[in-house]
Amino acid sequence: MTDSKYFTTTKKGEIFELKAELNSDKKEKKKEAVKKVIASMTVGKDVSALFPDVVNCMQTDNLELKKLVYLYLMNYAKSQPDMAIMAVNTFVKDCEDPNPLIRALAVRTMGCIRVDKITEYLCEPLRKCLKDEDPYVRKTAAVCVAKLHDINAQLVEDQGFLDTLKDLISDSNPMVVANAVAALSEIAESHPSSNLLDLNPQSINKLLTALNECTEWGQIFILDCLANYMPKDDREAQSICERVTPRLSHANSAVVLSAVKVLMKFMEMLSKDLDYYGTLLKKLAPPLVTLLSAEPELQYVALRNINLIVQKRPEILKHEMKVFFVKYNDPIYVKLEKLDIMIRLASQANIAQVLAELKEYATEVDVDFVRKAVRAIGRCAIKVEQSAERCVSTLLDLIQTKVNYVVQEAIVVIKDIFRKYPNKYESVIATLCENLDSLDEPEARAAMIWIVGEYAERIDNADELLESFLEGFHDESTQVQLQLLTAIVKLFLKKPTETQELVQQVLSLATQDSDNPDLRDRGYIYWRLLSTDPVAAKEVVLAEKPLISEETDLIEPTLLDELICYIGTLASVYHKPPSAFVEGSRGVVHKSLPPRTGSSESAESPDAAPSGGQAAEQPAVIPTQGDLLGDLLNLDLGPPVGGPPIATSSVQMGAVDLLGGGLDSLLRSDVGGSPAMGSGSGFAPAPSTAMPANLGAPLSSGLGDLFDLTSGVGTLSGSYVAPKTVWLPAMKAKGLEISGTFSRQVGSISMDLVLTNKALQVMSDFAIQFNRNSFGLAPAAPLQVHAPLAPNQSVEISLPLNTVGSVMKMDPLNNLQVAVKNNIDVFYFSTLYPLHILFVEDGKMERQMFLATWKDIPNENEAQFQIKDCSLNADAVSSKLQGSNIFTIAKRNVEGQDMLYQSLKLTNGIWVLAELRIQPSNPSFTPVPVPFPTFLAASFLWVGMSCVALTHLSVYLRTCCLPALAGLPAVAGFGVVPEMPSTGGVPVHLPSLRNHPEELRCCCSPSSSSSPFPPKEAGAGPVCMSPFLPAKEPAPGNVPPAPGPWKPVLPSLVGLG
Amino acid sequence: MCFQQKMIHSLFLINCSGDIFLEKHWKSVVSQSVCDYFFEAQEKAIDVENVPPVISTPHHYLISIYRDKIFFVSVIQTEVPPLFVIEFLHRVADTFQDYFGECSETAIKDNVVIVYELLEEMLDNGFPLATESNILKELIKPPTILRSVVNSITGSSNVGDTLPTGQLSNIPWRRAGVKYTNNEAYFDVIEEIDAIIDKSGSTVFAEIQGVIDSCIKLSGMPDLSLSFMNPRLLDDVSFHPCIRFKRWESERVLSFIPPDGNFRLISYRVSSQNLVAIPVYVKHMISFKENSSSGRFDVTIGPKQNMGKTVEGVVMTVHMPKAVLNMNLTATQGSYTFDPVTKVLTWDVGKITPQKLPNLKGMVNLQSGAPKPEENPSLNIQFKIQQLAISGLKVNRLDMYGEKYKPFKGVKYITKAGKFQVRT
């Protein structure tokens, strides 16, 4: 007789039958009935109607019956809250039972009944149980506090249960400690602000003691709790590590991984010179490998975590390549993960083995796996230069198999190999072309087209090949269309004579027959480029491509560091911070790695350079696929640039110093010393067409003048507001005098005006209008003068401004032409606005980004000048600048000089990076004056530095340049880093462009209106292409003639050589 | 009211045909429909083994394991260590195995009330409570034919009504007051060879996964010390919590107070290539002819490096390419089957005698007109060698302290093939 009989009753009258049985006098019958009820419950039948009858069975001395009733109660109390109250008395009674098992059972069940009305009755019994003499009851009660907190947090706090729970951390029984920790962590997670688990060396010691004695599950809770602790110095970190290390030999893999988390985190604090550091590294490898012999599900989670660990500390597993070799009967999800890690571990030492394996995998059955294996071969070629030749020949072998998907994958990776090793393997192009017809996947087609376009001069029939693709142009995917457009333009630039018809055809296909905005925009840009300045077009389209990075799909370092703190959790499986996916992510606190406190801080750049290379070789990061934002950024800036953090993580990143000392030291070695700065820009070809430095803006006043202007004006907080000056004297405007100034407050710009009527008649009907200007400043609201202005009266008005107006480059840059109208006449005047009103609040650049950007800015975009006679120290400077949204990214001291690294961002997305060197009085120092546009010199002045003593302040500015994107003239030699449209700004995914920045430069005109730069259609207004036609800008006059709608014309192409 | 569900929220047991045959909710009830996401993933995976263990749905996460033709699908709502959940699920399956002798749908349905009681006892509020089988068995008695008869006569229950003694002591894995008339301690040293052999017969990868499983039936509180002849072999070891880690670190001796009954004392891994002997070799010739819809198959298995012991229980399984319709083979030893649906060839060889090597050869019929298969099948070999630990690990002696009696001691060695694959 088995329990399966309970499943067999399915007839209609079942509930009635059960009801009768439950009310039977016979104990046995009752029990049988309850069992039947439970059985129905397990298969999801609704037996809640029996609630009163089942509760009636509760008062029994039969433990099994009691348990069963409790089981039932937990399931249905929520739906029958009134009935549940009936059970309260029994609970209270059971909590006093001499048998600890019953006491514990009662307190456990109580907590599971999620009914508000009941909870208050439970406080007293719970309080007793928390102090029970039996540890089994205490540990059960500890968990009950967490349950109760979930139902009614206020009640738990009012009743003082939290304090009792904290006391339990010092309990003599390790099981109680573990459960108390678990309960507290759970509560703390939902209330991140409550400082519930304030860990200190004493409590840590208690936890470590309990760690050795409690159950495996308790160990997990304690280890996870330890991972949140910040040891005060490296010695403490080491001693904790020493006590945690034995957990690595635990049979429970969750314990092992939690221990790995603690060690990985605290290792940050240990100096690499320590012997112990090396020992720890050695100890970490075996347990990680052992995880791979567990069940496939465990393997999968372990592999996802190992993927993170390998990126963070590749040295741990560098000798363990073989354990990641794929077995044919591994589940596919394990195979793919293993492959990923194999590539990460590939090095010159083991490349032969890896390649042999990969070749083996490429003949497997599973298509996804085969594809990834082929791709992996390409990645090996790019990563390990010595192997490139072998990889290419392997790929050619694979192409010979003619297996369709293998060929397509191979072509995609060969394209990347061409990029990495130009002029080396082009001999294989012929083989590739043979397979042209078999390509049916967009990515492979796009790759092939890229190859044809790129090497058009070597392929005799390139035009025929491309033309053949053109026939079905509209049926191709966007990716292929874009690529085809670019390839044909390239072909045209290389062989202009034969291909004019072709290029015209593709341009008209793209611009006239397509409804894809990206394609259209790219078409127009090429068209215009070709028609305006074919030489420039050649320079742009056929520009030398930046090198592609060795590592792909690396996780961005700050995110990686955060994920290391989440080893073993879902975040580590998804490789996303918990805030990105945990539902209702209340209580998600960003975790960060502890700063290194070791002595060898000076020259090291340990953390942020996972490849273990020099700090200068910051690995280029191509964020994981599917991360559009990262993709785009990389495309734009071109490797090697550390991509900015993924949007979700960046939000709070500024506040948390993720890398702490690590980054400081990185900055130090990277940017340190001025020579490094000079050479830094030579590090990689800037992705932009370098603009000749056009520092043309005449200095309207010398630096000294400016200093005078600001002396004594110093507001410590808030943006500086200059005193009002007269803009329009009364005599020039028929009695209307206008004086004013500009200010910026919490993100909004305003023009503060005083209108004075010096005429003899009443003035009314005021209106204001701005001419086009460099930053698109425009009134955000009409000029509001409520009452007519009587003679000799003045009115103060604050006019809100925005920056969405039309853009035209002015000279000087910050010139603003204003027209004011009243009932008498229209008056014109121009004024210079201080640039700092355009510095936006989010101008604080991510450190990592700052570092990468700094290096990539070409020398031409650099200017240097000195401010003398300024008596502020670094901190004061920093806080003053901050008031005007010039943010200090890092600060350091070199040979007694304070260096500040500043960033600011203009409303149109231009970043300006600056290095400020504050020298203590050094009278012999003769500054070399560097021509410098007024506005930047001034921008520091407006902040208001008083000049009293002998202090030199050198300002070193760098900006990046990507003018085509900004929709703005390259500003006086200061280019622009386009501000990336926020997520959703550019909804098209352009993966194939990853390695082709030259195309993007010309095409990344955003296609959605939510982006900061509205799409420009032909004729919609002046399209500023100044980098390509720098001298042709209309001279700024009072009323510049409105440029007529631009029409693409081709005739000028004829003269192209 | 805002619920934040912790840890494991619910558990669904699903059989291979996609029926949910048991559900258990530790908090509020989660609708069965959440499993639809799982079924979706299952459908996509085609093969049951390939269902990803972590699936995200709009409101929950499903973490699942696949054991004994049953999916254990747990529902999670917040950030939880997935390994924690997976380990726990395996522990649940182990417990069922332990209680009912098998972890099958029938066994679970037959004992549904015990299952429910067990699940309730194993997890409280999503926190694991008691997962040691020793403790569970004191709380909930496993079903036996005898007891169910007795219970039905006397009306007594299968739930223990006293607190398990081990539950809170510093040695939670052992109960007090154990008594045996015959005191015995057995250790099985079991080693599995995982290896990948390439076409030419050279070893691409090989390692040994070893365990020592113990069956200890000793009265009282015995304190055991197990020492090895060559403990240096063990550099990557996972221990049962009963083992004193310090002692191992300093003296390389396993010192412990054992749990009562069967348990896994240690598991270890030997990976340095020169220590992993490969006990069999395979000569193979598998070829498919272009355009002739047939192929040849010829495989011979022979012994190698087996320390003079017999290799037995040899079974070879091969997943043939899809294009293979049938196979006409002759085996010089044992019998073979070919399943034309799953394309799996199984050859049960038995014992290998070095004088006459087992051989299987013959013709392969391919689907006519289909292109010649690109991939070559891997051969999966199973075998067993008694009285040999291939790594060379040897137990030196077992000492017992704390009790007066003389126990009976025994050590058994066995080597098996783990994931042993030969590429062709």
Q: Which residue of A has its CA nearest to B58?
A: A583
Q: What is the pLDDT of residue A599?
A: 40
Comparing A1 with A810, the larger pLDDT belongs to A810
What is the SS3 assignment for A306? helix
* Residues in chain B, total: 424
What is the distance between the alpha carbons of residues A42 and B108, in angstroms, rounded to a whole number?
Answer: 11
CB contacts, 8 Å: B53 with chain A: 296-297, 300-301, 333
Q: Give the one of A3, A257, A286 whose C-beta lies nearest to B113's C-beta.
A: A3
Q: What is the pLDDT of residue B185?
A: 93
A841-859 pLDDT tens trace: 888 887 777 877 777 777 7
Whole-structure pTM value: 0.64
What is the distance between the alpha carbons of residues A965 and A315, in angstroms, rounded to a whole number?
Answer: 41
Interior angle at CA B30, CA B24 and CA B31, nearest 5: 105
**Are B271 and A220 a contacting pair at CB < 8 A?**
no
Q: Provide, rounded to the nearest whole percent, the portion of chain A with pLDDT above 90.
A: 5
Comparing B128 with A993, the larger pLDDT belongs to B128
CA distances from A77 to A37, A220, A514, B125 (A): 15, 31, 62, 15
A640, pLDDT greater than 50: no
Which DSSP letter does residue A1030 get?
Answer: G
Given pLDDT bands bounded at 50, 70 and 90, which one contains residue A745? confident
**Are A251 and B421 a contacting pair at CB < 8 A?**
no
A559-573 pLDDT tens trace: 888 888 888 888 888
Virtual CA dihedral for A386, A387, A390, A391, nearest 10 degrees? -140
Among A90-94, A460-464, A525-529, A1017-1021, which stretch is predicted with the lowest mean pLDDT? A1017-1021
- Interface mutation target, options B83, B378, B420, chain A, most CBs of A under 10 Å: B83
CB contacts, 8 Å: B25 with chain A: 75
What is the distance between the alpha carbons of residues A480 and A514, in angstroms, rounded to a whole number?
Answer: 13
What is the distance between the alpha carbons of residues B6 and B18, in angstroms, rounded to a whole number?
Answer: 27
Helix (H) or strand (E) holding A418: helix A404-420
Which DSSP letter does residue B278 get?
Answer: -
Give residues with Cβ within 8 angstroms of A923, minimum separation 6.
A950
Given pLDDT bands bounded at 50, 70 and 90, which one contains residue A1051? very low
B397-415 pLDDT tens trace: 999 998 889 999 999 999 9
Comparing B186 with A925, the larger pLDDT belongs to B186
Bridge partners (DSSP) listed for residue A887: A903
Q: How many CB atoms lie within 10 A of CB B162?
A: 11
Task: Give the residue carrying structure tokens 């007269």.
Answer: A726
φ and ψ at residue B328, rounded to 5 degrees: -110, 100
Bridge partners (DSSP) listed for residue B281: B302
What is the distance between the alpha carbons of residues B63 and B3, in angstroms, rounded to a whole number?
Answer: 20
Mean residue pLDDT across chain A: 71
**Is the CB of A568 inside 8 Å of chain B's CB atoms?**
yes
What is the distance between the alpha carbons of residues A86 and A118, in angstroms, rounded to a whole number?
Answer: 10
B212, pLDDT greater than 90: yes
Average of pLDDT values for A913-927?
Answer: 59
φ and ψ at residue A899, rounded to 5 degrees: -115, 130
Among A581-585, A913-917, B22-26, B369-373, which stretch is predicted with the lowest mean pLDDT? A581-585
CA distances from A601 to A605, A618, A619, A639, A824 (A): 8, 18, 21, 28, 71
**Are A297 and B109 a contacting pair at CB < 8 A?**
no
Q: What is the pLDDT of residue A1057?
A: 32
**Are A329 and B421 a contacting pair at CB < 8 A?**
yes
Virtual CA dihedral for A558, A559, A564, A569, nearest 10 degrees? 160
A604, pLDDT greater than 90: no
* Tokens of residue A275, six digits: 């012997």
The DSSP line for B92-126 is HHHHHHHHHSS--HHHHHHTHHHHHHHHHHHEETT
What is the distance between the alpha carbons of residues B64 and B86, in angstroms, rounded to a whole number?
Answer: 7
Give me the half-sphere count of Cα atoms (radius 13 Å) on the Cβ side of residue B388: 23
ipTM (interface predicted TM) = 0.81
Return the amino acid letter for A841: E
Given pLDDT bands bounded at 50, 70 and 90, which one contains residue A12? low
What is the distance between the alpha carbons of residues A842 and A846, in angstroms, rounded to a whole number?
Answer: 10
How many angstroms separate the CA of residue A588 from the nearest CA in chain B? 10
Q: What is the pLDDT of residue B191?
A: 93
Q: Provide, rounded to the nearest whole percent, the portion of chain A with pLDDT above 70.
A: 70
* Tokens of residue A629, six digits: 């934002």
**Are A298 and B86 a contacting pair at CB < 8 A?**
yes
Comparing A13 with A249, the larger pLDDT belongs to A249
Give residues with Cβ within 8 angstroms of A248, minimum separation 6.
A256, A259, A260, A263, A283, A284, A286, A287
Q: What is the pLDDT of residue A925?
A: 36
B302-330 pLDDT tens trace: 988 767 788 999 999 998 888 888 889 99
Give residues with Cβ within 8 angstroms of B121, minimum separation 6.
B129, B130, B136, B139, B140
Let me know: does B365 contact B324? Beta carbons within 8 Å.
yes
Which DSSP letter does residue A44 get?
Answer: T
Q: Which residue of A has its CA nearest to B114?
A: A3
**Is the CB of A3 inside 8 Å of chain B's CB atoms?**
yes
In A, residues 260-319, which contact B (CB 8 Å cutoff)? 286-287, 289-290, 293, 295-298, 300-302
B64, pLDDT greater than 80: yes
Given pLDDT bands bounded at 50, 70 and 90, which one contains residue A348? confident
How many angstroms separate the CA of residue A331 from the nearest CA in chain B? 5
Which DSSP letter does residue A330 get?
Answer: S
CB contacts, 8 Å: A586 with chain B: 4
B222, pLDDT greater than 80: yes
Q: What is the pLDDT of residue A691?
A: 36
* Tokens of residue A135, six digits: 């540890």
What is the distance between the alpha carbons of residues A66 and A31, in angstroms, rounded to a whole number?
Answer: 10
**Is the CB of A578 inside 8 Å of chain B's CB atoms?**
yes
B331 burial (CB, 10 Å; 0-12 / 13-18 / 19+) is middle
Q: Which residue of B has its CA nearest to A368?
A: B45
Q: What is the pLDDT of residue A859?
A: 72
Among A272-286, A385-399, A544-558, which stretch is predicted with the lowest mean pLDDT? A544-558
How many angstroms separate the CA of residue A75 from the nearest CA in chain B? 7
Q: What is the pLDDT of residue A642?
A: 35
Burial B223-238 (b: 16+ CB within 10 A, else e): ebbbebeebebbebbb
Pairing between β-strand B184-197 and β-strand B408-422 as defined by DSSP bridges: parallel
